[in-house]
């Protein structure tokens, strides 16, 4: 029995004539589509941030702030999606990452990059493999298995709490500080001097 691609090629190149009763072997995907045995289409879960980079990245500023040890000098060149190239400052070996109540050692490539409070570090595939990460898109769960311990994250709950609430708290704190200084009689003299 010829494969479907070979069969179609022979018909199109006129090497073979289509007979009245012909048997063609279809792929599993084609068979499932024809027989309507496709799995039911589910609602789009939306996007959630699980970086699929091949290395774990950390900004140089964060590395200095955390003071996690000496960097191993390297000449790693990273080609970005737009084909631009960034060179690493060094590699931080066995940087501790807390997952639930557990600490996992991760090797980070350190880059000079702009500060981004939303994504301070990027954990790559080696980290996900180390912690035995399982992603359940249907139920919105992310689970890590480290030895006998298992830690689960509910992605739908994680996306509900954005960093905007932290900004609002900061604004409330600023207002309370300003109000405290305005009620202070000495602060009025200071404001007049400005």
Do residues 90 and 183 share a domain? no
- pLDDT over threshold 50, residue 8: yes
What CATH number did the domain enclosing 146 receive?
2.40.70.10
Q: Is residue 114 a part of any domain in this protein?
A: yes
Mean pLDDT of 77-96: 81
Helix (H) / strand (E) element for 86: namely: strand 85-87
Question: Residue 45 — very low, low, confident or very high, per pLDDT cuts 50/70/90?
Answer: low
Task: Return the axis-axis angle of helices 185-193 and 164-183, rounded to nearest 10°.
Answer: 100
**Whether the Cβ atoms of residue 117 and residue 65 lie closer than 8 Å to each other:** no
Do residues 137 and 110 share a domain? yes
Do residues 13 and 27 share a domain? yes
The DSSP line for 17-81 is: PPPSS---BPPHHHHHHHTT-PPPPPPP---------SSEEEEHHHHHHHT--PPBP---EEE-T
- pLDDT over threshold 80, residue 61: yes
Q: Is residue 44 a part of any domain in this protein?
A: no
Backbone φ, ψ for residue 10 (5° rounding)? -65, -40
pLDDT per residue as tens digits for the range 95-137 = 888 877 778 888 888 888 877 666 677 777 777 777 788 888 8
Q: 40-44, 53-57, 85-89, 188-192: lowest mean pLDDT where?
A: 188-192
Do residues 96 and 140 share a domain? yes
Do residues 146 and 83 share a domain? yes
Helix (H) / strand (E) element for 118: namely: none
Q: CA 35 to CA 136: how far, in whole Å?
A: 27
Backbone φ, ψ for residue 3 (5° rounding)? -75, 160
Question: Residue 36 — very low, low, confident or very high, per pLDDT cuts 50/70/90?
Answer: low
Do residues 145 and 172 share a domain? no
Quote the number of domains for the chain: 3
Do residues 96 and 183 share a domain? no
Do residues 150 and 177 share a domain? no
**Whether the Cβ atoms of residue 150 and residue 143 lie closer than 8 Å to each other:** yes
Would you state the structure tokens that stand for residue 7, as one six-digit string? Answer: 């069969």
pLDDT at 168: 41
Q: Is residue 43 a part of any domain in this protein?
A: no
Do residues 73 and 144 share a domain? yes
Mean per-residue pLDDT of the chain: 69
Do residues 27 and 66 share a domain? no
Return the number of other C-beta atoms located less than 10 Å from residue 32's C-beta. 13
- pLDDT over threshold 70, residue 178: no
Do residues 112 and 171 share a domain? no
Domain hosting residue 178, numbered range: 165-193
The full 3-state SS of 123-178, as one line of letters, equals CCHHHHHHCCCEEECCCCEEEEEECCEEEEEEHHHHHHCCCHHHHHHHHHHHHHHH
Q: Is residue 155 a part of any domain in this protein?
A: yes
């Amino acid at each position: 029995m010829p494969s479907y691609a070979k069969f179609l090629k022979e018909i199109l190149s006129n090497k073979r004539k289509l007979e009245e009763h012909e048997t063609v072997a279809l792929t599993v995907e084609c068979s499932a589509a024809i027989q309507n045995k496709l799995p039911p289409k589910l609602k789009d879960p939306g996007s959630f941030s699980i970086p699929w980079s091949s290395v774990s990245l950390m900004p140089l500023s964060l590395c200095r702030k955390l003071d996690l040890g000496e960097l191993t000098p390297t000449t790693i060149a990273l080609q970005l999606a737009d084909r631009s190239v960034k060179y690493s400052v060094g590699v931080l070996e066995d940087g501790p990452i807390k997952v639930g109540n557990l600490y996992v050692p991760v090797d980070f490539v350190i880059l000079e990059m702009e500060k981004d409070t939303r994504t301070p570090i990027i954990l790559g595939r080696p980290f996900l493999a180390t912690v035995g990460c399982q992603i359940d898109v249907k139920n919105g769960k992310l689970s890590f298995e480290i030895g006998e311990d298992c830690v689960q994250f509910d992605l739908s709950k994680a996306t509900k709490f954005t960093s905007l609430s932290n900004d609002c708290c900061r604004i409330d704190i600023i207002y309370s500080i300003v109000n405290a200084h305005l009620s202070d009689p000495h602060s009025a003299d200071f404001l007049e001097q400005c």
